[in-house]
Structure 1
Amino acid sequence: MERVIKSGIGWRIGWNPDAPEFKGLIGTEDWAIELTEAELNEFCRLLYQLADTMKHLATELMAEEKIACEAESNLLWMEVEGYPHAYNLRFILNTGRGTEGAWPAAAVTELLQATRMLKVF
């Protein structure tokens, strides 16, 4: 298997199965952080969970209502904020590196789609 990096306007994500420790990468054009396989898996799992929650809340909110939802594990804290169809994404890495990052709503839809094609989780 070979290294994969997917990117678009305002986002990028990568997977290198041959890397010794940091097999994943998330970021934008301006910043990036390498993640362990467990951290990348957890990033994707929490992102799917939050995206699914936002999709379900769409039926319960008025069109102009904004909402924020959080999800957390021992590895990551993540939050989506905005409208069910367009929301910002933030994360904080809870492991020793103490990293924080964010993507604007315009980038989140493509980032979510890219995570589904990156590898089989």
Structure 2
Amino acid sequence: MERLIKSGDGWRIGWNPNAAKYQGLVGTDDWAVELTAAEIDDFCRLLAQLADTMKQLTAELMDEEKIACEAESDLLWMEVEGYPQKYSLRFILNSGRCAEGKWPASAVPGLLQATRMLKVF
């Protein structure tokens, strides 16, 4: 399998199964950080979990009500903040080299869709 980088408006994500240490990559147009296979797996899993939580909260919140939800693994911490249908995303690497990143609400839907298909190809 070849190296794969997907990108959209304000986001990019990559997977390179042949890389020695950092097989994954997440970022925006302005920054990127390489992730290990375990970190990219957790990133994709936690983002899906947060997206599902936000979807479930849609019925329970008033239209103008903002919310923040967090999810964490041993490797990284993630938070979504905003409205159930439009929220920003932030992450912090908990181990090793430590990194932090954020995507605006406009970038999250494309990034979320790409994480679901990252290793399908």
Q: How would you bin the TM-score normalised by the shorter chain?
A: over 0.9
Q: Deviations over 1:29-83 (max 9, x none)?
A: 1000000000000000000000000000001000110000000111000000000
SS of equivalent residue, structure 2 residue 64:
coil
What is the identity, as a one-letter code, of the residue corresponding to 1:102? Answer: K
Q: How does 1:55-74 map to 2 (within 5 A)?
A: 55-74=55-74
Offset at residue 117 of structure 1 (A):
1.1
Q: How does 1:99-114 map to 2 (within 5 A)?
A: 99-114=99-114
- Over the aligned positions, Cα root-mean-square deviation in angstroms equals 0.6
* Contiguous gaps of at least 5 residues in structure 2: none
* Contiguous gaps of at least 5 residues in structure 1: none
SS of equivalent residue, structure 1 residue 42:
helix
SS of equivalent residue, structure 1 residue 59:
helix
Q: Which residue matches 2:23?
A: 23
Residue 102 of structure 2 is aligned to residue 81 of structure 1? no
Q: Which residue matches 1:3?
A: 3
TM-score, normalization by structure 2: 0.98
Partner Cα separation in structure 2 for residue 70 and residue 16 of structure 1 = 28
**Number of residue pairs matched?**
120
TM-score, normalization by structure 1: 0.98
Report percent identity of matched pairs.
75
